[in-house]
């Protein structure tokens, strides 16, 4: 099925591409390189590099002359080409500089490889035209503020009309849209990320698979939960849906217990705590690092980690309001305010807040979600800054346990909810604070230090469901009250040093992480069970007193992590990454259990140490292509002993990965192949079933592909595909060859939008999404398959000046599919419509 899906995507893309290049002769399109122009097939890397460079040179439009002429309003920058029409530039602002990148251009100037001119007009300090990747970059630096520009494209000539900027200048309606944010706005393509190395590193220099879902994708898809955003991530499967207070994820076949907020670990929570709830309204992007990440972040599963990067203060004032309403009584309002608080612009702020009130297609389910996220940043100088951020998240929602993990789920009504209408509620609150300090001692030495505190509490009242009997169609349940409290403090400090040893460049990272967390889970249950018939449910079961069973489990964990990483540039096109981390973890767990008049107490105290290495290499035969290979490891403490009383070593994950990353114009793609082996997994001791031994092993192998960016002006693409085999390879009780739970064997996603760039339809756009997930096993041992599905989404939007309206259509065909939540199957929502109005001041 995946092959057919990809074939349809390729056919669609090729047909649209063919229409795009079949233009009249008058448009003077660049000459297309013919196969006959190439020499015989390359047989060596050197020959391939020469032919690749020849192709790029012939597919680019060559700029043969640059002129800078003063005008009454500023100046005009004229680019003359040998033939053809240059593409519309993508623009950004850095300080007082207006940056315009043209993707399909090369420089062939008689005076050299670049053009520069100082003080060309009043208010303009410098103009430069330089090569950048497969295109060129025009940088116009203003004296008091970044200038504005209007584009006049003509055949064999390209004119930028520049107007010097002032601190109060407004952008003309017909000018290039500039987002002066201090952030790099990359649209559907992001060029850098910090999650993989804890430094701002170009993705092309990272020897491990990393995917970034940018802000524009989140907005275009009308996402209201991060679970919806992560449907775009290759190899990531959700284990719950939007009606759950929190979700878990499966990456490369393994449950991901590690999610980060701005590089800090998010507590896993329990009983519906809000610690793992992330509202997309405050997210700038989501970074997914696939494969072991213990070298920088400590204990975690080998599949990967997810880092939620929040929106940061802007230097230029920005005020935005979003209002959304849709199916099933969904209402959301959000504000996003930012700018300087002082005249000298040293104190910046950002305030983001959202409120949701929603119902559901599922019976009895409603709720509200509140998110408040202010942040202030004070820049003492160009080299020193202090930031403080706070996030408050509160969720109050009716409980939903889904449908039984049994074939009967496929026959039950889609809206059926077996929780009680009145008694089953989730109520949780999360407070997250981060104080960070940045200082550059010099161009070669900097310090980043931050302290994080997270306080979470949650309560889950209602009926637990378990032990479904397919013979009687009865689903047993018990009344319970679950309460969770957790506190986590973390301190991270990184020193980054840049230096050379001869001709070899180094970027050395030395870091220390200290973390302490305390949690308390209390469960009060009734031992008197009832049952509900899934075919003919009768509600109104009384909520019983909570004195039959009590379980209290306070835990404390202290972690010390020391890590070292060196990003080494051996040659301009050959880079080496070496890293290692040593962790020492001490955990204390107390269990107090009261059952049928008998109380038992048990205290466990464990200490674990582990070293996690990573080695990677990147080779770039030509600038747009990166070939990489890497080795990395992860660990998770087992915190148990054998029957002889010996502490069992941590579970280990080991990954080997190879891949290729390509960047052509405004498109970037990544292809990766990997094998992960997880060893030292606990299995039942055949000599004493009351104990375990570490002889279990599982293996995950797969191939992943993702691509994102701008195909043509106004046409964006974000797509991925993967094949994965995650199986049990050794175990005492599980059959070898069984597939790991919730690990689809294949999947693919496609999201594409087109927005008219000029004419009467300028600003009108539409989007289409297709999402395919293959078969998954719901349990181990394998005895129940969750079937594959294809879902289709669409969007229609119109943006003009400072406002935007959008309609998002989700699950166009009302496809019925399922997500596994351990205790039940969550069925998908049918066709859903959301309407959004956004205004920016």
CATH number at residue 139: 2.60.40.3500
Over range 473-499, report the average pLDDT.
91
pLDDT at residue 156 in the model: 59
The set of residues, in sequence order, having a beta carbon less than 8 Å from that of 825 and lying 6+ positions away, is 402, 403, 404, 405, 409, 778, 786, 818, 819
Same-domain check for residues 201 and 129: no
Helix (H) or strand (E) run with residue 631 in it: strand 625-636
pTM: 0.79
Same-domain check for residues 297 and 440: no
Over range 79-90, report the average pLDDT.
78
CATH of the domain at 590: 2.40.170.20
pLDDT at residue 350 in the model: 97
Q: What DSSP character marks residue 618?
A: E
Helix (H) or strand (E) run with residue 59 in it: helix 45-59
Mean pLDDT across the chain:
85
Last residue of a domain, one of 265, 289, 308: 308
Q: Which residue in 32, 141, 27, 30 sits closest to 77, CA to CA?
A: 141
Please check the confidence at residue 15 and state whether its pLDDT lies above 50. no
Distances (CA, A) of 262 to 300, 303, 310: 17, 19, 7
210 occurs within a structural domain: yes
pLDDT at residue 603 in the model: 86
What's the pLDDT band for 7 if we cut at 50, 70, 90? low
pLDDT at residue 134 in the model: 65
pLDDT at residue 509 in the model: 97
179 occurs within a structural domain: no
Same-domain check for residues 254 and 158: no
Over range 41-66, report the average pLDDT.
58
Helix (H) or strand (E) run with residue 755 in it: strand 746-755
Distances (CA, A) of 299 to 239, 294, 626: 21, 6, 29
From CA 23, how far away is CA 32, in angstroms rounded? 12
Over range 569-578, report the average pLDDT.
96
Low-confidence winner among 357-371, 566-580, 681-695 (lowest mean pLDDT): 681-695
Q: Are 488 and 517 in contact (CB under 8 A)?
A: yes
Please check the confidence at residue 507 and state whether its pLDDT lies above 90. yes
26 occurs within a structural domain: no
Residues in the chain: 841
Edge-first strand listing for the sheet containing 254-256: 236-238, 249-251, 254-256
The set of residues, in sequence order, having a beta carbon less than 8 Å from that of 684 and lying 6+ positions away, is 692, 693, 732, 733
pLDDT at residue 59 in the model: 54
Question: What are the pLDDT digits (tens) for 308-337?
Answer: 999 999 988 999 999 999 999 999 999 999
Q: What's the CA dihedral at 272, 275, 277, 283 to 10 degrees? A: 180
Question: What are the pLDDT digits (tens) for 96-126?
Answer: 778 888 877 888 888 777 888 888 888 888 8
**Count of domains in the chain?**
3
pLDDT at residue 95 in the model: 65
Q: 790 or 127: which carries more pLDDT confidence? A: 790
The label of the residue with tokens 């506190």 reads 487
pLDDT at residue 545 in the model: 58
From CA 68, how far away is CA 44, in angstroms rounded? 44
Please check the confidence at residue 379 and state whether its pLDDT lies above 80. yes
What's the pLDDT band for 86 if we cut at 50, 70, 90? confident
Same-domain check for residues 289 and 153: no
DSSP labels, 564-601: EEEEEEEETTEEEEEEEEEEEEEEEEEEEEEETTEEEE
531 occurs within a structural domain: yes
Most confident of the ranges 62-66, 97-101, 298-302, 819-823 = 298-302
pLDDT at residue 154 in the model: 55
Tokens of 10: 């390729």
Question: What are the pLDDT digits (tens) for 418-448?
Answer: 988 877 888 889 999 999 999 999 989 999 9
pLDDT above 70 as % of the chain: 85
Same-domain check for residues 266 and 408: no
Please check the confidence at residue 660 and state whether its pLDDT lies above 70. yes
pLDDT at residue 155 in the model: 53
Q: Are 116 and 125 in contact (CB under 8 A)?
A: no
Phi first, then psi, for residue 711 (nearest 5°) are -75, -50
Phi first, then psi, for residue 685 (nearest 5°) are -75, 115
Please check the confidence at residue 76 and state whether its pLDDT lies above 90. no
Last residue of a domain, one of 250, 275, 308: 308
Question: What are the pLDDT digits (tens) for 766-816?
Answer: 999 999 999 999 988 999 999 999 999 999 999 988 899 999 999 999 999
761 occurs within a structural domain: yes
pLDDT at residue 362 in the model: 93
Over range 6-32, report the average pLDDT.
40
Same-domain check for residues 363 and 493: yes
Please check the confidence at residue 178 and state whether its pLDDT lies above 90. no
Last residue of a domain, one of 275, 308, 341: 308
23 occurs within a structural domain: no
pLDDT at residue 242 in the model: 47
Same-domain check for residues 328 and 447: yes
CATH of the domain at 201: 2.170.130.10
Same-domain check for residues 85 and 213: no
Cis peptide bond upstream of 608, omega within 30: no
Please check the confidence at residue 6 and state whether its pLDDT lies above 60. no
Over range 180-186, report the average pLDDT.
40
Please check the confidence at residue 146 and state whether its pLDDT lies above 70. yes
Three-class secondary structure of residue 272 per DSSP: coil
The label of the residue with tokens 């997250």 reads 432
Please check the confidence at residue 366 and state whether its pLDDT lies above 60. yes
pLDDT at residue 126 in the model: 83
Q: Which residue in 624, 691, 634, 685 sits closest to 657, CA to CA?
A: 634
171 occurs within a structural domain: no
What's the pLDDT band for 153 if we cut at 50, 70, 90? low
Low-confidence winner among 363-367, 480-484, 586-590, 713-717 (lowest mean pLDDT): 480-484
Tokens of 751: 């999201």
Radius of gyration of the chain (CA): 28
pLDDT at residue 26 in the model: 37
pLDDT at residue 247 in the model: 64
From CA 277, how far away is CA 526, in angstroms rounded? 29
Same-domain check for residues 712 and 690: yes
The residue range of the domain holding 229 is 192-308
Most confident of the ranges 8-12, 108-112, 132-136 = 108-112
Same-domain check for residues 533 and 613: yes
Same-domain check for residues 559 and 584: yes
pLDDT above 90 as % of the chain: 54
What's the pLDDT band for 179 if we cut at 50, 70, 90? very low
What's the pLDDT band for 461 if we cut at 50, 70, 90? confident
From CA 425, how far away is CA 355, in angstroms rounded? 19
Q: What's the CA dihedral at 19, 20, 25, 26 to 10 degrees? A: 130
507 occurs within a structural domain: yes
Tokens of 293: 């990440």
Q: Are 463 and 419 in contact (CB under 8 A)?
A: yes
Q: Are 551 and 522 in contact (CB under 8 A)?
A: yes
Most confident of the ranges 292-301, 456-465, 545-554 = 292-301
Q: Are 137 and 113 in contact (CB under 8 A)?
A: no
Please check the confidence at residue 535 and state whether its pLDDT lies above 70. yes
Q: What is the sign of the dihedral through the CA atoms of 726, 653, 209 and 491? A: positive
Low-confidence winner among 135-144, 207-216, 756-765 (lowest mean pLDDT): 135-144
What's the pLDDT band for 171 if we cut at 50, 70, 90? very low
Same-domain check for residues 550 and 628: yes
pLDDT at residue 75 in the model: 84
Q: Over 398-431, what HEC string results?
A: ECCCCECCCHHHHCCCCCCCCCCCCCCEEEEEEE
Low-confidence winner among 37-46, 187-196, 617-626 (lowest mean pLDDT): 37-46
Calculate ∠ Cα 201-202-203, nearest 5°: 110
Please check the confidence at residue 257 and state whether its pLDDT lies above 80. no
Phi first, then psi, for residue 50 (nearest 5°) are -65, -45
Over range 464-482, report the average pLDDT.
86
pLDDT at residue 166 in the model: 60
What's the pLDDT band for 13 if we cut at 50, 70, 90? very low
């Amino acid at each position: 099925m995946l092959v057919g899906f990809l074939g349809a995507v390729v056919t669609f893309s090729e047909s649209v591409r063919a229409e795009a290049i079949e233009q009249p002769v008058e448009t003077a399109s660049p000459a297309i390189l013919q196969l006959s122009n190439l020499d015989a097939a390359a047989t060596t890397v050197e020959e391939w590099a020469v032919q690749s460079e020849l192709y790029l040179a012939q597919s680019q439009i060559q700029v043969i002359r640059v002129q800078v002429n003063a005008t009454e309003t500023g100046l005009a920058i004229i680019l003359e080409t040998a033939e053809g029409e240059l593409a519309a530039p993508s623009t950004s602002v850095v300080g007082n500089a207006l940056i315009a990148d043209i993707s399909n251009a090369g420089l062939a100037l008689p005076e050299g490889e670049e053009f520069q001119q100082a003080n060309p007009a009043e208010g303009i300090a410098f103009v430069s035209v330089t090569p950048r990747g497969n295109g060129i970059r025009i940088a116009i630096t203003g004296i008091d503020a970044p200038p504005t520009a209007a584009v006049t494209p003509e055949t064999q000539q390209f004119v930028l009309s520049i107007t010097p900027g002032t601190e109060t200048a407004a952008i003309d309606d017909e000018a290039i849209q500039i987002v002066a944010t201090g952030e790099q706005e990359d649209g559907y393509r992001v060029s850098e990320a910090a999650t993989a190395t804890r430094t701002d590193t170009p993705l092309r220099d990272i020897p491990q698979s990393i995917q970034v879902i940018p802000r524009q994708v989140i907005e275009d898809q009308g996402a209201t939960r991060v679970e919806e955003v992560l449907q775009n991530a290759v190899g990531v499967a959700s284990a719950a849906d939007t009606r759950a207070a929190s979700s878990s994820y499966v990456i490369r076949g393994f449950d991901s217990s590690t999610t980060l907020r701005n590089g800090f670990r998010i507590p896993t929570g329990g009983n519906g705590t809000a610690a793992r709830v992330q509202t997309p309204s405050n997210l700038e992007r989501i970074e997914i690092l696939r494969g072991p990440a213990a070298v920088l972040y400590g204990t975690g599963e080998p599949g990967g980690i997810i880092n939620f990067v929040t929106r940061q203060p802007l230097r230029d004032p920005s005020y935005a309001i979003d209002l959304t309403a849709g199916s099933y009584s969904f209402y959301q309002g959000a504000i996003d305010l930012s700018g300087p608080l002082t005249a000298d612009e040293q104190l910046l702020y950002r305030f983001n807040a959202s409120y949701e009130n929603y119902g559901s297609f599922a019976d009895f389910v409603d709720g509200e979600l509140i998110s408040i996220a202010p942040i202030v940043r004070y820049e003492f100088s160009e080299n020193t800054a202090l930031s403080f951020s706070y996030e408050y998240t509160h969720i109050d929602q009716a409980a939903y346990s889904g449908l039984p993990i049994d074939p009967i789920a496929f026959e039950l009504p889609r809206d059926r909810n077996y929780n009680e209408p009145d008694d089953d509620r989730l109520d949780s609150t999360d407070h997250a604070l981060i104080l960070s300090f940045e200082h550059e001692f010099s161009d070669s030495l900097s310090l980043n230090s931050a302290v994080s505190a997270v306080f979470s509490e949650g309560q889950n009242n209602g009926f637990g469901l378990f032990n479904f009997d397919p013979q009687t169609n009865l689903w047993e349940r018990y009344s319970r009250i679950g309460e969770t409290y957790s506190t986590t403090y973390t301190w991270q400090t990184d020193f980054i040093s840049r230096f050379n040893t001869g001709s070899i460049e180094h970027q050395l990272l030395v870091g220390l992480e200290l973390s302490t967390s305390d949690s308390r889970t209390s469960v009060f249950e009734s031992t008197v069970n009832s049952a509900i018939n899934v075919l003919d449910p009768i509600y109104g079961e009384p909520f019983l007193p909570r004195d039959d069973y009590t379980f209290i489990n306070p835990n404390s964990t202290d972690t010390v992590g020391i890590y070292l990483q060196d990003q080494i540039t051996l040659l301009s096109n050959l880079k080496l990454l070496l890293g290692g981390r040593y962790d020492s973890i001490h955990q204390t767990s107390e269990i107090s259990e009261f059952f049928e008049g008998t109380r038992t107490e048990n205290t466990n105290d464990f200490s674990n140490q582990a070293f996690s290495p990573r080695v990677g290499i990147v080779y770039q035969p030509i600038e747009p292509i990166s070939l990489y290979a890497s080795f990395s490891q992860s660990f998770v403490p087992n915190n148990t002993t054998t029957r002889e009383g010996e502490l069992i070593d941590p579970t280990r994950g080991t990954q080997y990965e190879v891949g290729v990353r390509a960047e052509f114009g405004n498109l970037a793609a990544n292809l990766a192949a990997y094998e992960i082996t997880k060893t030292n997994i606990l299995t039942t001791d055949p000599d004493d079933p009351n104990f375990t031994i570490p002889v279990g092993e599982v293996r995950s192998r797969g191939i992943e592909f993702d691509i994102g960016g701008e195909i043509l002006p106004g046409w964006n693409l974000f797509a991925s595909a993967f094949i994965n085999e995650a199986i049990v390879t050794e175990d005492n009780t599980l059959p070898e060859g069984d597939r790991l739970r919730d690990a689809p064997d294949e999947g693919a996603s496609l999201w594409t939008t087109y927005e008219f760039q000029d004419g009467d339809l300028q600003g009108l756009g539409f989007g289409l999404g297709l999402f395919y997930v293959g078969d998954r096993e719901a349990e181990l041992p394998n005895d129940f398959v969750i079937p594959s599905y294809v879902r289709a989404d669409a969007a229609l939007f119109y943006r003009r000046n400072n406002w935007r309206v959008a309609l998002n259509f989700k699950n166009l065909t009302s496809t019925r599919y399922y997500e596994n939540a351990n205790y039940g199957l969550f069925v998908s929502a049918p066709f859903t419509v959301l309407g959004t109005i956004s205004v920016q001041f």
